[in-house]
Structure 1
């Protein structure tokens, strides 16, 4: 933002507001298509066939075949949110010549039940669209990068229904020119970026909610509406809950290393790799249905019937979700990991609430925050995602767990070589 002149900042912010609205409309459209596709594959067709017991395997294998053939023709897409932002940061742009390919690549795994979130594919589409607009307007360098970052802020804010998430995520990503500027210049640039990102998020949420009211459809993590009173009995379990969640995060990263190695060995065999992912998805989904899909809609169901599930089902669902997300991503069913990790953390929290007798909302808030903080290493972003999901009374333990989880050292075995 440093190269954008101050006199143009207001115009740039207004343009970001409009761009955010466009991003919100695009995200709403793609999520609407996803919902219709899921309804067709998982409700209409099985109902027409009489809901046979073999249908989950048939649908997941069909999905694996379609995804594999698509990747064989167009490549392994979509890229992760980190890769998209990294390329934008280093190259100052992102490819936009085949956005329709990216859209189909993002939707297919979600429609066929992949244990994935939509943020990776949708972010890549919006970033590509922003870069295309920037090139048409002859923006260069910092302007294109910040335009795309504004699009990311709007997209993440819309997907998670968390207005501050995209803003926090962008600010926790260190800029390449931070070391080249004086502290005063850094402060001025960050203020300018904040204005632009806020404008983009407002535009995105306005478009998403407007279209949702007119035509239906929404996204975001369900809210724990009831206020809770946290007692000393709850706080005495805090370190236990946080430690268990960090261990869960370590399991996730270990499974990522193992499944990534498997995926690399099969990288030239797209159809077989994606079919294998479909087999794992169907097998686990048959015995633990909540391990399928992103977890966003299932979270609402979980809030209502968690006591009926028992510790074993909740714990196995949490572990299975962490494993299955890695299997999907690294074997070819590409997508995001934030929604699945949040859902896994919630299952773990409810399981520990059954064991300990602690306040369940407190337990879930601590577990979700700690596991997300450890895996993402961005505590401010974690807090921004969860801020509107939990009552005000659990903000302190939520923030403590997120920051505490992010401070636990990352073992070298989890790092890519």
Structure 2
């Protein structure tokens, strides 16, 4: 009977966690729209001046919060590292990631919601695992404790690990898979009830396979790989210089608010993650000069990495995809192959380098690009990963 209660408890809370994650993503879009199109919409200033009235004050607020709370939200890499080293994440600081994540996104930072969403989602899952341990090894637990969210650290230290709740690893994996699916159902219901324009899905497009031009595909592959390396180089040096600048985080974040506002005078694409801009951008990219497309890609890259290093933290996946699309569209104007194929190869190679995981890259991009290009995406991502390994080995030998 107790095992059945645990299953019921996990099922209900998994459903709630899915709802919470989807609600958070919708909340982000609502807040961005409120700040940029409602709150400051009636200001008697030109649209070009609006970023100065938003980015600079928000930068100051971000700096104050960083000084008081620390560098949040955590990145996906930091979450994975914590799980790998400690077997868990500290979900007690979830509100810090929520607060700084929302403010940085609302301010128009060139960052994605995936970082703060990962922190919140994994934190809730970790909390649920701890609650299940308490229930399993508690003699007085009753259903009236269902909404009790407090987890005693002292009690947890005395209890066996989460894996001890299952007879085997297979049972544990099946249980976790079922809970994940239930969470996905909860998220899907929210997205259905409160639909937001999104990119993910199965997209179709007729592809004209012109094999006589197949020799040209090496060009977007090399360019995409090179841009991915540039993105990583920018990330590395942005972090390096930010660490060398010994000034208050308040000044750092405010300075970036000023710089970000100035960058919008060149292109408005310096703002936001680019997630909801990719589709309209692709439709008009071929009407933009190749040189300006490269300028957009560089500004987006620097806006993401330098801003992150100066305190405007968040995800980098969608900004890097957007920047890679700009590069692919620029190259496509000089090649006889289909523009969408050129963009797909460029983006696949670039993101495979940035993420370092070709299969994950392929899965992500197959949900963004036409499904007919899946073989091209898979091959391009793996070739870029191989090229990275060869390049790394070559540098190691020379050093």
Task: Tell me the residue number matched to 1:83.
Answer: 78
Counterparts of 1:251 and 1:146 in 2: how far apart (Å)? Answer: 46
Q: CA deviation at 1:195?
A: 4.0
Match of 1:350 among 311, 329, 353: 329
Measured in 1, the distance between the counterparts of 2:180 and 2:237 equals 37
Residues 156-167 of structure 1 mapped to structure 2, 5 A cutoff: none
Deviation at 1:35, TM superposition (A): 1.4
Query: Where does residue 24 of structure 1 map in the other structure?
Result: 18
Is 1:225 equivalent to 2:207 in the alignment? no
Return the TM-score normalized by structure 2.
0.83
- Asked whether the equivalents of residues 241 and 366 of structure 1 are also in contact (C-alpha less than 8 Å), the reply is yes
Tell me the residue number matched to 1:66: 61
CA contact under 8 A between 2:19 and 2:187: conserved in structure 1? yes
Q: How has the CA–CA distance of structure 1 residues 218 and 11 changed in structure 2, closer, same or farther, with 3 Å as cutoff?
A: farther
- Name the counterpart of 2:138: none
Displacement after TM superposition at 1:124 (Å) = 1.0
One of 294, 298, 305 as aligned partner of 1:315: 294
Aligned pair in 2 of structure 1 residues 119, 13: CA closer, same or farther (>3 Å)? farther
Distance 2:226 2:31 in 1: 36
Equivalent positions of 1:374-389 (< 5 A) are 374-389=353-368
CA contact (8 A) 1:56 1:286 kept: no
Greater alpha carbon shift after TM alignment, 243-252 vs 93-102: 93-102
Unaligned stretches of 5+ residues in structure 2? 135-158
Deviation string 1:119-162 (CA, Å, 9 cap, x unpaired) is 11111112222222222222777637999xxxxxxxxxxxxxxx
C-alpha change, 1:144 and 1:293, in structure 2 (3 Å) is farther
Q: Measure the CA separation in 1 of the matches of 2:265 and 2:202.
A: 28
Structure with larger Rg? 2
Aligned to 1:143: 162
- Asked if the contact 1:67–1:109 (Cα under 8 Å) also holds between the matched residues in 2, the reply is yes
Query: Shift of residue 82 of structure 1?
Result: 0.7
Judging changes above 3 Å, is the alpha-carbon distance between structure 1 residues 76 and 393 closer, same or farther for their aligned structure 2 residues? same
CA contact (8 A) 1:134 1:144 kept: no
Does the residue aligned with 1:138 lie in a helix, a strand or coil? Answer: helix
93, 97, 116: which is aligned to 1:98?
93
Cα separation, partners in 2 of 1:405 and 1:362, compared to 1, 3 Å: same
Match of 1:39 among 25, 33, 47: 33
- Residue 98 of structure 1 aligns to a residue whose secondary structure is helix
Task: Indicate yes or no: 2:393 matched with 1:393.
Answer: no
Instruction: Report the 3-state secondary structure (helix = DSSP H, G, I; strand = E; otherwise coil) of the residue aligned with 2:334.
Output: helix
Equivalent residue number for residue 267 of structure 2: 288
CA contact (8 A) 1:94 1:128 kept: yes
The aligned residue for residue 106 of structure 2 is 111
Q: TM-score, normalised by structure 1?
A: 0.79
Change (3 A) 1:339 1:198: farther
Q: Say whether 1:250 aligns with 2:269.
A: no
Offset of 1:289 from its aligned partner? 1.2
Superposed CA RMSD in Å reads: 3.0
Aligned length: 365
Deviation at 1:325, TM superposition (A): 0.9
Distance in 1, matches of 2:30 and 2:353, equals 34
In structure 1, C-alpha distance between the alignment counterparts of 2:173 and 2:133, rounded to whole Å? 23
Matched-pair contact (CA < 8 Å) for 1:221–1:296: no
What's the secondary structure of 2:351's corresponding residue? helix
Per the alignment, residue 123 of structure 1 pairs with: 118
CA 1:234–1:341: 2 relative to 1, 3 Å: farther
